[in-house]
Structure 1
Amino acid sequence: MKVIKIRLKQALKDRSLTQKQLEALSGVSQARISKLCRDDRQEVNLLMLSKIANAMNITDISELLDFVDVE
């Protein structure tokens, strides 16, 4: 079975950004960003994800989302 994995934590690390810095850039609260960085997240608001991608200058969604195999 495959599931979608959110890669925001890695994207922040790759860009040397903190959650607070992303909050200032995107307008998305640090609490929501923190929740997206956890591996157990089941739902994603597309508008919020779009704001984050725009703030981080991400044009390839695979930098934020990955489709992975799980057992």
Structure 2
Amino acid sequence: MLKVKIKIKEVLKQRNLTQKQLESMSGVSQARISKLTKEDRQEVNLEMLTRIAAALGITDISELIQFEEVPDNEHGPDSK
């Protein structure tokens, strides 16, 4: 199964930036940036990602997002 991985944490670390600094650069609140980096997030707001990418000078979306292979749920209806 594929899962969308948001790589904001990695990008910030590479560029020696904090979420608070990114907030100032992009206009996206630090709280929303933090939510985007959580593994259990259910949605991705494309407008926020676009603003973050523009603030960081990113033109290749693969720098921010990638698909990640995760094991299928082993506790499906047929498993015991």
The reply to whether TM is greater than 0.5 is yes
TM-score (norm 2): 0.84
Higher helix share: 1
Distance in 1 separating the partners of 2:54 and 2:20: 16
TM-score (norm 1): 0.94
* Unaligned segments of structure 1, at least 5 residues: none
Q: Which has the higher contact order (CA 8 A, sep 6+)?
A: 1
Q: Which runs of 4+ in 1 moved over 4 A?
A: none
Q: Is it true that 1:7 corresponds to 2:7 in the alignment?
A: yes
Distance in 1 separating the partners of 2:5 and 2:37: 10
* Unaligned segments of structure 2, at least 5 residues: 72-80
Larger radius of gyration: 2
- Structural RMSD (CA): 0.8
Q: Percentage identity across aligned positions?
A: 65
